[in-house]
Structure 1
Amino acid sequence: MASSISTFTTRLSEAARIVEAGLQALLSDKAAPGELARPSRLMDAMRYAVLGGGKRLRPFLTIEAARLMGVEGEGPLRAGCAVELLHCYSLVHDDLPSMDDDDLRRGRPTVHRAYDEATAILVGDALQTLAFEVLADPATSSDPAVRSGLVLGLARASGLGGMVGGQLLDLSAEGRYGPAELGEAEVRLLQMMKTGAILSFSVEAGAILGQADAAARRSLVEYGRALGAAFQVADDILDREATPEALGKRTGKDREKGKATLVDLLGLDGAKRECRQLVEKADAALAGFGDKAQILREAVRFVVEREV
């Protein structure tokens, strides 16, 4: 077990390193073919939003799921970078005054504080479109069906039926549009859409790149959904137990706004039990892959045991 954990840690660190380099290349000042120019202020702010922080868990999941399907190299790296660009866009917009109104992200001022609100909006817009550009580029895959599958999958995970829709549900849960009292089913749906959909797609992207058969893809999607749910429950536990200094962002926001989480509904012990059950569910989804999926098994444990 210690050996598998060591291998997981090494692979996660290596993925973070190559993803960081890949993101730096995508966010260079040099205009890409078809672009007229890259405004320097916009590029500075985009790099501020993306580079030098985060565990790069989402691209790691894409890279490892693709490896499980026998695909390595530039394609999984580019797809993982695209997911990370999309994720970073969501953080920039999530921090805006009209959304969560946060001043701190990863231990430093949020983009709208470091620059200004208009720049932050444009940063998010540019990161989102760049993500889809990366997936649509033949450099990601020579197969048009693979590229279109990636674009479709990320659009659905990040759009009205996924992350964006989940953000609207999140705002509604604060009572912005009238009285709101969320039960367990509503909280689970909100979290599945806002956070879980992109995490789940990060895994499914590897299946798409590897042109997995229907059964393998179904298993990876099931694993991704369990991991996404576990991530959010663990996040709610951290929000209750960790300090803002440790997390690098403000804690207790949901409680301040009277918004229920699974920790509120299940209690701390119940939420931790839920995490353990989701780890078991993720493990079960990977059963058909045998020992080849050990890194993905360690990933879901990392998600629930992390301290930041």
Structure 2
Amino acid sequence: MNVQKRVVEDELESTIHILDAPKSLKEAMLYSLRAGGKRIRPLLMLATMEAFQQDVQKGYPVACAVEMIHTYSLIHDDLPSMDDDDLRRGMPTNHKVFGEALAILAGDGLLTYSFQVLSEMNGVSASDKIRLIRYLAQSAGPEGMVGGQVADIEGEDTSLSLEDLMSIHENKTGRLLTFSVVSAAILCGASEQVIDELEEFSKHIGLAFQIQDDILDIEGSEEKIGKPVGSDEINQKSTYPSLLGLEEAKAKLAEHSRLAKEILAKTGLHTHLLMEIVDLIVKRDH
């Protein structure tokens, strides 16, 4: 996976460098793209293509597009009007380096450019391009991530039910993870049955991802996480540990991991890399 991660990072660099855009804007976009992270979304996309035993190079534009969407969301999340964070992955947040106006525009640039990247893919039919663009817009927009972010903001200082919390995170976190998996299946010409199975798999890993995030906000270290811990409690946000207790949250994490792996095993695909990513999500310490 480390090799694929480096390839994705090289692809992201070259994808931004070819832009005919102001230097300051490209620098701000690259600053946050270079901030690190495990690249879970592009790795999921490429691992799914490998599960179908397809050439992963065909998936590089999609892998870049989904990582650009994810990065734009982090830039905007960190703004004073949102989470007002000073650090992201141990580095000053984008607006602390470039100012709020350029940070907003860097996020806007990554968001809109992601769709251009998909539209310019080589070797992909027009119908598949349209399907992927529509699916990414649904996953990232008002019906997906953005809608989940709004529900999350509106849920602050209130006591949410477990069902409400799951719904928020299925949209806020899960939808882009699902896109990462299913977009690869679309490119590989998968049957609707397999796509349905992979959607169900990705819902479980999305919930596992968020539960582990909530646990790390309690048990993690600022040095490893790259930002202050305990922010959920300070902001009076409902989390899996706050609703279930820490031990029950850990049990839920294990349950979603198990269910995800059971679904993968039923697909008949070559899923060893996807299994590794499930373990990476569950066992990560930052």
- Contact 2:53/2:270 (8 A) holds in 1: no
The residue number in structure 2 matching 1:154 is 136
Match among 135, 139, 161 for residue 183 of structure 1: 161
Match among 239, 244, 254 for residue 232 of structure 2: 254
Give a deviation string over 1:234-292, Cα, whole Å, max 9, x none.
11101110121110012211111111101111111101100111011101211223471
Give distance in 1, aligned partners of 2:194 and 2:184.
11
Helix, strand or coil for the counterpart of 2:49? helix
Amino acid at match of 1:252: G
- Contact 1:146/1:211 (8 A) holds in 2: no
User: Is it true that 1:287 corresponds to 2:265 in the alignment?
Assistant: yes
The residue number in structure 2 matching 1:21 is 10
Match among 172, 175, 184 for residue 154 of structure 2: 172
The residue number in structure 2 matching 1:163 is 145
The residue number in structure 1 matching 2:111 is 128
Cα–Cα, structure 1 residues 219 and 208, in superposed 2: closer, same or farther, change >3 Å?
Answer: same
Helix, strand or coil for the counterpart of 2:133? helix
The residue number in structure 1 matching 2:283 is 305
Give distance in 2, aligned partners of 1:240 and 1:185.
22
Give distance in 2, aligned partners of 1:120 and 1:90.
11
Give distance in 1, aligned partners of 2:257 and 2:160.
25
- Contact 1:184/1:265 (8 A) holds in 2: yes
Structure 2, unaligned runs of 5 or more: none
Write out the 4+ residue segments of structure 1 that deviate beyond 6 Å after TM superposition.
none
Instruction: Work out the percentage of aligned pairs sharing the same amino acid.
Output: 39
- Contact 2:174/2:203 (8 A) holds in 1: yes
Give distance in 1, aligned partners of 2:253 and 2:162.
15
1:52 Cα deviation from its structure 2 partner: 4.6
Give distance in 2, aligned partners of 1:184 and 1:128.
31
The residue number in structure 2 matching 1:233 is 211
Q: How does 1:27-42 map onto structure 2 within 5 Å?
A: 27-28=16-17, 30-31=18-19, 37-42=20-25
Match among 197, 201, 206 for residue 219 of structure 1: 197
Match among 39, 64, 75 for residue 81 of structure 1: 64
Structure 1, unaligned runs of 5 or more: 1-11, 32-36
Give a deviation string over 1:122-172, Cα, whole Å, max 9, x none.
001000011111111132x42112111111111111111111001101111
Give distance in 1, aligned partners of 2:40 and 2:64.
11
Amino acid at match of 1:217: I
Aligned residues: 286
The residue number in structure 1 matching 2:176 is 198
Helix, strand or coil for the counterpart of 1:98? coil
